[in-house]
Structure 1
Amino acid sequence: MRLPDSFLDEIRARLSLSQVVGRRVTWDLRKSNQAKGDWWAPCPFHQEKSPSFHVDDQKGFFYCFGCGAKGNLFGFVQQQENVGFMEAVELLAREAGMEMPRRDPREAQAADRRTQLAELCEEALRFFRTQLKTGAAAEARDYLRGRSLSPDTLDRFEIGFAPNRRMALRDHLMQRGVAPNLIEAAGLATPASEGDPRDRFINRITFPIRDGRGRCIGFGGRAMNPDAKAKYLNSPETELFDKGANLYNLARARSAAGKGQTVVVAEGYMDVIALAQAGFEAAVAPLGTAVTDRQLRLLWRVSPEPVVALDGDAAGQRAGLRLADLALPMIAAGQSLRFAILPEGQDPDDLIRAGGPEAMRAVLEGAVPMSALLWRRATEGKVLDSPERRAAFDAELRALVRRIEDPNVRRHYGEAFARQRADLFGPEMRQEAPRAFAGDRPFRPRGSGRPGGGRGGGAWQPPALATVAARGSALAQGAADPDRVLEQVALAGLVLHPALLEDFAEALERGHWAGEGHGRIAQALLAVDPVDDPAEARAALERAGCGPALEALLALAHVRVSPAARPGAGDADAAACVRDAFARLEARRGVARETLEAIEDFEDGGDEAIVWRLGQALRRRDEATRAPRDEETGGDDAAGMSEFLQGLLDAKVWEKQKRK
């Protein structure tokens, strides 16, 4: 949803930057000039004693002369709380006493309903907190003391107690005028359809669950009765609570991760609380189930490489491998998991109580990459003493590597497994190791020749090796130039026709940008709502700090004459142009990756098969850049767009730019 500028301006009017920053820093009043709105303090983003952090209230900007952090009111909250722009706006709007704009009546009604349920959960939280102080909760308090939880920790995590009465909470809420159906909708009581109405949590220690925005959306409960059917019980799925899309302690962990702490994924509530009490505040846990793909994406928004703390027993190992299998197709450059394996029979709480925070820190620092966990599973208990067993082992590794969707990461996994395989099988295999599992192509010993032998009559003769290597080297060095031209045309088309942003969001997200500033423009475009007015989109990009790069992009001669930039060009014309540019980029880069792999194999002492593959890759490169895109968009207009882009590449406009 696009927020009106007037709404953002009203937030700025109600909250000064120094007011928001002042809650996080101690101002140096000797250096500050309050009358002019000129404030100085030690930086909240890095450790320092001198006041190098400057806030200019009149301009609404901050800058640290030590670490270089800079931004406006919303940027400060984004960096301090480690949240996105919309979440930062929501936090500031709440502080300013303003309601977020709503899109339509149905959405407003649904939002009102969720707000009601969240307020009801907050009332239940207050009830549980009060009950923990009563005589009926003596056993619960003894249990919490036995787990070494301090009063400050109990308050910080808002731990409470649900009395051992069937309708204690329900009666409390109904006395305050809450309708029974609303209590059931919040997951606080069982529906009447399930039998006699009763509270969801009875005789349990309660742990409130808050979402990333800080709203109470549900509860977890630890049974005090040792004969209870479930030791831990969570709120059921509700309009507010989706356990597969939330994490326990997410809001606090995100804030701690923004200050440099390692994100630790533990098994349950008590582990998270023990970790946080010991200083590991960026700890989270799934909500009673195994980690889901949605929770993984949520984790990666907080940290690129969270550490999963595994119990040292067999069940913990199996849980880690299930998570690794789930994550494998989703990993990417700078987006993975590490695994910290605890001593057998201990969870994080046990380890901290036995050895203190230092013992836990040592385990976290010794965390291994995901590839190590998968390799251990692939080799553990296997006897590879025959060609057949080794062949089956190779097939298992290749199947594992093929599950990785990111081609670059897939290749690195293949190379890592190949080196480990060579060490496992002995010195006679080491010469074959470097790329045995890189990508999807089969492993072939040196000297195997062209696949398929000499079919077609006569022995196959390789092209001149020097010629092939020279052509490949030129391709590898110059590939970025035509790629940059295609990127410029695609990005300019989306800037000038922002209504197309939703259609090309996936292409922007997965793009590997060669041009300087192109990646920043692409990221800024992803944050722009699809609009019909290009001026709005350009204003949003300028607010994101892309003004100079955008001005340079739109000033390029080949961009100005592109079909998307011509006077009167419609969205359909621009869509065809942008689509063709992205398709050509994808084709060029796919072939370039294969070519570079072939070149590297050749440099390692390539045989006829490698040289043949290199020649085939170069041929497909030429075909890919000249392939018509009519089938994707249809009609003569699409062909015209394709001819325009091919004309740019044939004219080598990038070489002309270099000579200016």
Structure 2
Amino acid sequence: MAGRLPREFIDDLIARIDIVDLIDARVPLKKSGSSFMARCPFHSEKTPSFSVSREKQFYHCFGCGAHGNAISFLMDYERQSFPEALETLAALAGIDLPKTAPDPGANPAVSLQPIYDILDRAAGFYAQQLRDHPTAEQAKTYLLKRGLTGEMAHRYRIGYAPPGWNNLPADWPRTPLIQSGLVIETDRSSYDRFRQRIMFPIRDRRGRTIGFGGRTLGDETPKYLNSPETAAFKKGKELYGLHELLEADSKPRRILVVEGYMDVIALAQHGMTEAVATLGTSTSTEHVRVLFRFTREIVFCFDGDTAGHKAAWRALEASLPLLREGREIRFMHLPSGEDPDSLIRKEGRDAFDSRIREAAPFSDYLFRTLQTDLDLRSVEGRAALQKQARELLDRLPVGIFKEMMAQRLGEITGVVNTAPPPRRTENRPRSPSGQPRPPSAWRDLVSLLLHRPQLAGLISPDVRARLTANPRAGPLIARILEYTDQQAAPHAGMLFEYLRETPEGTLASNILRRRLLTPEDGMETEFVGALDRVLALLREDRLNQLIDKSKHGQLTDDEREELRKLTGGKS
């Protein structure tokens, strides 16, 4: 589904679906007060902590912090993409999806289906060339030398691009050939991109061919050539072998990320079908996000050389924004001169599986790598580790995992209270002692608004301006108020959708992972109290600003009057 559906349609779709019925059909729920409870489907637990609210059209786990609306549940539980979740909900509601507007910046002349069709035809063409072309013997010899069976070649649709500049059929439509990257067009001529290469079709999760990787059999460079970025192929979001992995196991216990196409295929041939590979690029945050939709454990498997360690560190950094309790990432480096293909053939599946189980946990790998060139016997070494680690830990989502990583850093460096400081602390309200205030009042205020957006009606216009001016919480509060102004009957499920894929939405998700202890019938009272506390912080912060200015400069008449009122109010 290209483009974006109108927000009005998505809001209407969410309003038509009862999230309780949707989840109960997949995870049996039991009534508990005004909500419904179950054991959380996203982490192991003995006591039910997964709560679903019909009033809010929202679910929240008090154990692992999982939360969202009907769309989020389908994406997380059934591993559907955002468009697929909308299609599922539309089918349940008995309505058709409207035609979508193209994405901003997209070429309206590019229709994806002809591109998918021509890429699929090309995959069949290359597979036939591997079987029948007279120059394919070298390719067959290479594949046999790598131990590839016919079954694996068929499963992964491996093919062969013969030598020559124009092997693709001349009667195929030219436009999709060029748009797909199969043919390169110049001012004077056009020619096939892939020549004399073993061809590895790259398929998306739905099994559609979206591009190719080609391994040279001659002296051409590069050794591996990938399709260019196209409307159908985004290297930073796709993973080789994911379609085949999910065909073998739709809910894998773990996913192994390796470096090459043949590594994926060789492991599958030995019965290890849980491997994928990035497409000639570093591991991206989007890669990690995609994988965590299908598993709770990711193991990065790279060479043991310098390049392999750099690739692992880039994968670690890409993973930081997505790591929280209930998710696990580990790192495995191979012996010198080995790749997964050679190692599993040499040692066997059981020994290779044992290596995976012994892979370094994320925490060990991070701290061990940072300590490589530091002397922790010295103050300088411990201080350097403290600084470097804090910069990384600050990128972790708020939660138990982040707190435990901070504790681990404190144990290593001997520094007490090593929790990473919130960003932009210079903008947080400060007490007269000059210390940053705990953000609990602001967090409580925003958390209650997220759970019950109707509470926005209790905020007066003049207070709105003061809240939204706050540099940390202000943008999120402004977004919430923007939503509630548009809705006669706002609820948490729709608000969550309104915030999706916005910077404020990321902050909202981090806040929602914290447990809200306030019962439903006490939310309004708690909100009024939180609002009073926030306003008191703002008054005190303004008072401190005026006092500080009076010591270093001249106050205006209006500022002196404001200071008089503030000090009078305090007394």
Q: Which residue of structure 1 aligns with residue 27 of structure 2? A: none
Q: 1:106 to 1:381 in 2, by over 3 A?
A: closer
Given residue 324 of structure 1, which amino acid in structure 2 is its aligned partner?
A: L
Which of 302, 305, 321 pairs up with 1:310? 302
Which of 432, 439, 442 pairs up with 2:420? 439
Q: 1:325 to 1:353 in 2, by over 3 A?
A: same
* d(CA) in 2 for partners of 1:485, 1:388: 44
Q: Deviations over 1:8-43 (max 9, x none)?
A: 99xxxxxxxxxxxxxxxxxxxxxxxxxxxxxxxxxx
Q: Deviations over 1:27-77 (max 9, x none)?
A: xxxxxxxxxxxxxxxxxxxxxxxxxxxxxxxxxxxxxxxxxxxxxxx9999
Pairwise CA distance, 1:395: 3.2
Given residue 151 of structure 2, which amino acid in structure 1 is its aligned partner?
A: D
Q: Which residue of structure 1 aligns with residue 217 of structure 2? A: 224
* d(CA) in 2 for partners of 1:397, 1:318: 17
C-alpha contact 2:382 2:413 (8 A) present in aligned 1: no
Matches within 5 A, 1:8-157: 82-84=79-81, 86-87=83-84, 101-104=97-100, 113-134=111-132, 135-157=134-156
Q: Which residue of structure 2 aligns with residue 197 of structure 1? A: 190
Fraction of identical pairs, as percent: 32
Q: Which residue of structure 2 aligns with residue 46 of structure 1? A: none
C-alpha contact 1:351 1:359 (8 A) present in aligned 2: no
* d(CA) in 2 for partners of 1:248, 1:283: 9
C-alpha contact 2:200 2:214 (8 A) present in aligned 1: yes
- Are residue 327 (structure 1) and residue 319 (structure 2) matched? yes
Q: Which residue of structure 1 aligns with residue 534 of structure 2? A: 624
Which of 235, 242, 265 pairs up with 2:257? 265
Q: Which residue of structure 1 aligns with residue 66 of structure 2? A: none
Matches within 5 A, 1:113-512: 113-134=111-132, 135-169=134-168, 172=169, 174-176=170-172, 178-179=173-174, 181-193=175-187, 196-225=189-218, 227-256=219-248, 258-406=250-398, 408-422=400-414, 435-440=416-421, 488-490=451-453, 496-497=489-490, 502-505=497-500, 506=505, 509-510=509-510, 511-512=512-513
Matches within 5 A, 1:568-583: none
Given residue 117 of structure 2, which amino acid in structure 1 is its aligned partner?
A: E
Pairwise CA distance, 1:269: 0.7
* d(CA) in 2 for partners of 1:622, 1:414: 32
* d(CA) in 1 for partners of 2:447, 2:495: 21
* d(CA) in 2 for partners of 1:242, 1:625: 47
Structure having greater relative contact order (Cα 8 Å, sep ≥ 6): 2
Q: Which residue of structure 2 aligns with residue 537 of structure 1? A: none
Q: Deviations over 1:115-152 (max 9, x none)?
A: 01000101111110110002321111111111111111
Q: Deviations over 1:411-463 (max 9, x none)?
A: 321211222345xxxxxxxxxx6x4523339xxxxxxxxxxxx999xxxxxxx
Q: 1:304 to 1:120 in 2, by over 3 A?
A: same
Aligned length: 421
* d(CA) in 1 for partners of 2:285, 2:244: 21
C-alpha contact 1:218 1:235 (8 A) present in aligned 2: yes
Gaps of 5+ in 1: 10-73, 423-432, 442-453, 457-471, 519-551, 563-579, 589-620, 630-660
C-alpha contact 1:80 1:258 (8 A) present in aligned 2: no
* d(CA) in 2 for partners of 1:501, 1:80: 17
Any idea what SS the aligned residue of 2:383 has?
helix
Pairwise CA distance, 1:400: 3.6
C-alpha contact 1:261 1:280 (8 A) present in aligned 2: no
Q: TM-score, normalised by structure 1?
A: 0.55
Q: Which residue of structure 2 aligns with residue 602 of structure 1? A: none
Pairwise CA distance, 1:282: 2.4
Q: 1:163 to 1:366 in 2, by over 3 A?
A: same
Higher Rg of the two aligned structures = 1
Q: Which has the higher helix share?
A: 1
* d(CA) in 2 for partners of 1:419, 1:106: 52
Gaps of 5+ in 2: 18-70, 423-431, 456-483, 540-571
C-alpha contact 1:163 1:203 (8 A) present in aligned 2: yes
C-alpha contact 1:81 1:258 (8 A) present in aligned 2: no
Pairwise CA distance, 1:287: 0.6
* d(CA) in 2 for partners of 1:77, 1:329: 22
Q: Greater shift after overlay, 76-85 or 372-381?
A: 76-85
Q: 1:483 to 1:207 in 2, by over 3 A?
A: closer
Given residue 175 of structure 1, which amino acid in structure 2 is its aligned partner?
A: D
* d(CA) in 2 for partners of 1:401, 1:378: 12
Q: Deviations over 1:285-332 (max 9, x none)?
A: 111111122222222222233111122223211211122123234433
* d(CA) in 2 for partners of 1:285, 1:99: 38
Given residue 375 of structure 1, which amino acid in structure 2 is its aligned partner?
A: F
* d(CA) in 1 for partners of 2:399, 2:82: 31
Q: Greater shift after overlay, 328-337 or 296-305?
A: 328-337
Q: Which residue of structure 1 aligns with residue 478 of structure 2? A: none
Q: Deviations over 1:241-272 (max 9, x none)?
A: 11112111222334555333311111111111
Pairwise CA distance, 1:488: 5.0
Pairwise CA distance, 1:365: 0.7
Q: Which residue of structure 2 aligns with residue 532 of structure 1? A: none
Q: 1:99 to 1:236 in 2, by over 3 A?
A: farther
Q: Which residue of structure 2 aligns with residue 514 of structure 1? A: 515
